[in-house]
Structures are given as structure tokens and as C-alpha cells.
Amino acid sequence: MSSVLLAVGLLVAAFVGFNVGGSTTGPAFGPAVGAKAISKPVAALLMTAFFFVGGWTIGRRVVDTLGNDLVTNPAIFTLEASIGVLFFIGLALFVGNMFGVPASTSMTAVGSIAGLGVARDALDWAVLGEIAIWWLVAPIIGFWVSLIIGRYFYARLHALIAMERSDPPLLTVDRSGAIPVLRAAASTNRRELYGVVTVVVIGCLMAFSSGTSNVANAVAPLVGSGQLEMNPGILLACAAVGVGAFTIARRTLDTMGSDITELPLTAAIVVAVVSATLVIFLSAIGIPASFVVIATMSIVGLGWGRATRPVTVPEAVRGDEDVPVSVGGLAADEEHEDDDVPAIGEEDPEDIPSAADLFDPGTTARVVLMQNVVPMLATGGAYLAFRFVPVFGF
């Protein structure tokens, strides 16, 4: 009987990993795909490779953390309980993926484990509280940092690096020698090539960060129960993530790369830098990183900031069109009158897309809604099951 249960547990863990690949590939490589820097298959390949590196190196530490620190009594992770936790994680993530919304795997996993902990009176509320606070603060930071960049620095940054994707391929394969060599196409703009490399590298960094935190979401309960060794568990999770990245992740790549907002390459770099920096910071202090939410709010903040450039802050607050641009903190833009970049308030509104053009309000609302509903489904479902269903009893 235990061998059958273990087989079921491995299948459920693989199902979770499959949905992790579907929900995390979009935030990591959606900006690069949306900017046409790489294709979806290449994004899936990079996601799989760097997720494995992150999971194999730092990820094992997070597996121990989720299996021990979040609950006061790790013994509650019986084989039956572990299967139940993984089931609710996978089910909730699958719902998000079916809606094309990259739900937070960390929030969903922690929520499911918290449901078990509350049902068994073994949840460490202090640890959960610290995690929840950072989950609230980090997306707000990402939104405002991106908004400020979009409003005050994006135009100058874009003019400086001037990276719009061209139609011809950036790279070609030179087969003149014995070994094919990848080279820059003759028509390739060097700045464009450097920009593409930058945004892809940052996506790889985000995939690595995802591996460090999300590999635990798939196998921590089984490893904590003692039914699965650490190394085979990591390999199982990474293989399942790869399958998800090549299949179901196509929807979340569309959502994060083009449905929410139209991202030129410069914007993709900004979103990736802001999101990756916050994710690395959270991982460094031991917080399971919810970079799905951070990346989403960064995209929205950047789009909002870009849309408000034609209006100065005093004009927006007072409704006065005659207020000078140099008031307060806006003077920095006026100092660059000789540049090609117009100052805040002097930019022609017709040259800047509206907020509705930069990000789709309907899609954004759907993303925000599902990113809250999915973890709630996992938490509520786990609590009810472990509290009232006899098969999960002790």
C-alpha cells in the first residue's frame, strides 16, 4: 500500500512541477519573448536549464526550510498529508494556468502548507507573518520603482540605448567551417544585440532564482516526510518543470509578454532588472520569492509611468496647464533642453501610447484577481481536507 501511495505522491509532485513550469516561465522570459528577443521554445529550454541549476545548488536549502520552519511539528508531513498538500498546490496552479495567468507558486505552496498547519495546530505564525509582509511590500516596491523609471527615466534611457527590434534575425549560423558557429547578422545593430543578450541573461537569472525557491514547492512535502531523497526529488521537479515550460507555459508567455502590455526591448529590460533584483533580495533573506506578482506589478507600473509623461505632477493635481515644468523634483528634466528627449509635460501626448494601449485593463484585472484567488484556493482546500476528510486524518 505504501508503494502505491508513494507512486501517487510522485505523480502529484510531477503534476505540481509541470504547473510550476507553466506559471513561472512567463514572468521570467515573457518580456524577452514579448520583445521578440527569443522564441517560446528557446525560452522553455533556458527556463529548464537554469531552473535546474538553481534547484540543484540553493534550492535544497529552501526544501529544508519549507519542510521544517513553516510548521512547528514536521511530523505532520505523513505520506498521505504530503500527497494532499501537493494535490492542492498542483490543482490551484492548474486553474491559474488554464486562465493563462501565471499564479504565484510560492504563495500557493505556502498557502497549502499553511492550511495543513492550521488544521493540525502546527503552523508557525511568526514565520508565516514575515513571509506575508514581504509578499505585500515587494510588489509595491516593484510597481513604484518601475513607475518612476517609466515617467522620469524611460524616455532618456530609450534614446540612449535605442533598441527597437528589427525584422531580420540578429544571429546567423556560419556553416563554412567544420563546426557551425553562431555569428551576428551583417545587418544587426550592435546596441540591439547587446540589449537582447542583456534581457535574455536577466531572464536566465530569474529562472535560476525560480529554481532556488520553487523546486521546494514540488517536492518539499515528500522530502520532509522521508519518502523521497533530496537529489531524486530535485531531478523529478526539474524534469516536470521542463515539460510545463515547453507546453502550458505558452499561454503565460503570451500574457506576460504581450497581452498585458506592448513591450519594446528597452521596457523588457527595465521590467526584468527590477523583478530580478527584488527576487534575488528576497531569496537572499530566506523568503520564498513570489516573482510572478512582482513582475506583473512592474509591467503595470512601467506602463502607467510612461502614459503619464505628457502631464506634470502639478498639472495632474491642480488641473492647471500653465504650471511650469521646473517645479520641485521635475527640474531635472528641464536641464536637458538640448537633448532630443522632451521634458516632462512638454511631450506630445500623441507620441505616447495611452494607459489602455500600454496595458490592457481587462487582462491586468484578470491577472491580479487570479493571483489572489489561486493561493486562496490552495489554502482553503488544504485546510478543509486536513480538518474534515478522514483519509487525511492522523
For residue 348, the model assigns a pLDDT of 54
Q: What is the pLDDT of residue 334?
A: 38
What pLDDT score was predicted for residue 123? Answer: 87
b or e along 300-317 (b: 16 or more beta carbons within 10 Å of the residue's beta carbon)? Answer: bbbbbbbbbbbbbbbbee
pLDDT on residue 39 = 83
Q: What CA–CA distance (Å, rounded) separates 14 from 11?
A: 5
pTM of the model: 0.70
Q: In the prediction, which pLDDT does 95 show?
A: 74
User: What per-residue confidence (pLDDT) applies to 333?
Assistant: 39
DSSP 137-172: HHHHHHHHHHHHIIIIIHHHHHHHH--PPPSS-SEE
pLDDT at site 322 = 46
In terms of C-beta density within 10 A (0-12 exposed, 13-18 middle, 19 or more buried), how is residue 153 classed? middle
What are the residue ranges in the chain where pLDDT is below 70?
1, 31, 35, 96-97, 99-103, 160-174, 180-192, 195, 252, 255-265, 291-292, 309-368, 370-371, 390-394
The pLDDT tens digits of the residues spanning 127-184 come to 889 888 988 899 999 999 999 998 888 877 777 665 555 555 555 666 777 776 656 6
